[in-house]
Amino acid sequence: HRGVTTRTDPFALLAEPMQEVRRTLLDILGSSNDSMDQIAKYYFLQPSKALRPLIVLLFAKATNGLGAGWDRKLAHAITDLDQPMSRPDVLVDHNPRLPLSKTVPFSDHWALTDPPPPIIPPTPLDATGLDILPSQRRLAQIVEMIHAASLLHDDVIDQSPLRRGNASAPEAYGTKLSVLGGNFILGRASAALARLGDPQVVELIASIMSNLVEGEILQMQDAPAPSRAWRVYLQKTYMKTASLMAKGARGSVVLGGCEQGQVYAEVAYAYGRNLGIAFQLVDDILDYESGEATLGKPGGADLQLGLATGPALFAWEEYPEIGPLIERKFKQPGDVERARELVRQSAGVERTRELAISYADQARKVLDPLPQTDAKDGLISLTERIIKRKS
Ligand code: FPP
Ligand code: MG
Ligand code: MG
């Protein structure tokens, strides 16, 4: 059994495409409105793990060539995805005679009266660049955009002052611009998604956005009865966190020519689902164990927000007196401190870690049908890194 150190480092393996994904993402988010331009790019200019795009790219590398549709995907891989993105409103509202086609350049960096920028000629893929398709790189950006949009909205809802070690967007720009910025990013993500030209993938990825909202609303609602608490927690966690990883991974495999429902698409989905739940359980632990300095966001936030996450749900089994506190969402004075103390005395954190490990193990096991490659090794390595992460 090999440890983390001997496994492929997934971040190093994909350093080149990841860097390109980050760099060209900023073009997609350009707006001729200066305020929007700034706020849309704000969370992308700060360091982040970019775990979601990494998963998309790893699955591209791990499964491209395996599906029946690969040759067809490759033949169509010559792409104009890189035409300047993307301002459909210019075309629709101001220039109705221009066809809304993939080859029309549209950019937000030019004013309506400026001449349009030149069309970048589609570059044929060279043989060295075939391992990840342009559409899969674009999907990596789309999932990161959806994630960032949800963070903008989340920081408004949670009234969080910090994100990624800096002032949160609402703190820096106010709540109104943060909500609008999130919506703007979703608009750009939707346009980019449409350009992938695969209705199945459009539907799959669009459903993530609804899942995120459903997860958030489930979390806001009244605490469930004790007998349903874990079921609701896991459902919420799938919608809020794992759906993006599961469906992003599946979308990548489908773009590489595997049909939905076929084994590699299901492997990707199951991996993302299990990894996402493990990721969130570790997040729950870090909220109890770490502070602002390592997290880049406030620690101890969950109880303050009224949330009973993994550690508190386990503590409930040992200390029934935590139940009423959970039910009133730690609202009364002293509730947060009392709950924190009970969780500390309990095995809540330890049991949450064990549960996270079992989901991470499951994520590793579902990869079995994949052929042995560096990318698969990188995916396995991620299941170990997720558990060990400190921020
Ligand atoms: C972070 O959770 C937030 C999410 C994972 C998703 C939140 C979803 C919404 C606000 C719905 C809006 C959705 C879209 C598509 C715009 P957290 O608050 O537990 O974590 P944190 O500590 O990082 O803030
Ligand atoms: Mg939140
Ligand atoms: Mg939050």
> For position 319, what pLDDT does the model report?
96
> For position 31, what pLDDT does the model report?
83
Model confidence over 112-163: pLDDT tens digits?
Answer: 444 555 555 555 554 444 589 989 999 999 999 999 999 999 999 999 999 9
Q: Is the complex ipTM higher than 0.90? A: yes
d(CA 342, CA 316): 9
Model confidence over 87-104: pLDDT tens digits?
Answer: 443 333 333 343 333 333
> For position 298, what pLDDT does the model report?
77
The residues lining ligand 1, judged by C-beta closer than 6 Å to any ligand atom, are 146, 149-150, 153-154, 157-158, 160, 182, 186, 209, 212-213, 216, 240-241, 297, 301
Q: How far is the CA of 45 from the centre of ligand 2 (A)?
A: 21
**Nearest Cα residue to 313 out of 301, 299, 303, 298:** 303
Candidate of 46, 142, 151 to mutate for ligand 1, largest count of ligand atoms within 8 Å of Cβ = 151
Q: How far is the CA of 149 from the centre of ligand 3 (A)?
A: 12
> For position 348, what pLDDT does the model report?
96
Cβ 92 vs Cβ 100: under 8 Å:
yes
Residues with pLDDT less than 50, the chain: 85-114, 126-129
Which distant-in-sequence residues (6+ apart) come within 8 Å of 279 by Cβ? 51, 241, 242, 245, 386
Nearest CA to ligand 1 atom 11: 213
Q: Is the dihedral of CA 200, 202, 205, 211 positive or negative?
A: negative
Q: How far is the CA of 151 from the centre of ligand 2 (A)?
A: 8
Please report, for residues 24, 39, 99, the alpha-carbon distance to residue 111 in angstroms, rounded to integers and kept in the order given.
21, 19, 19
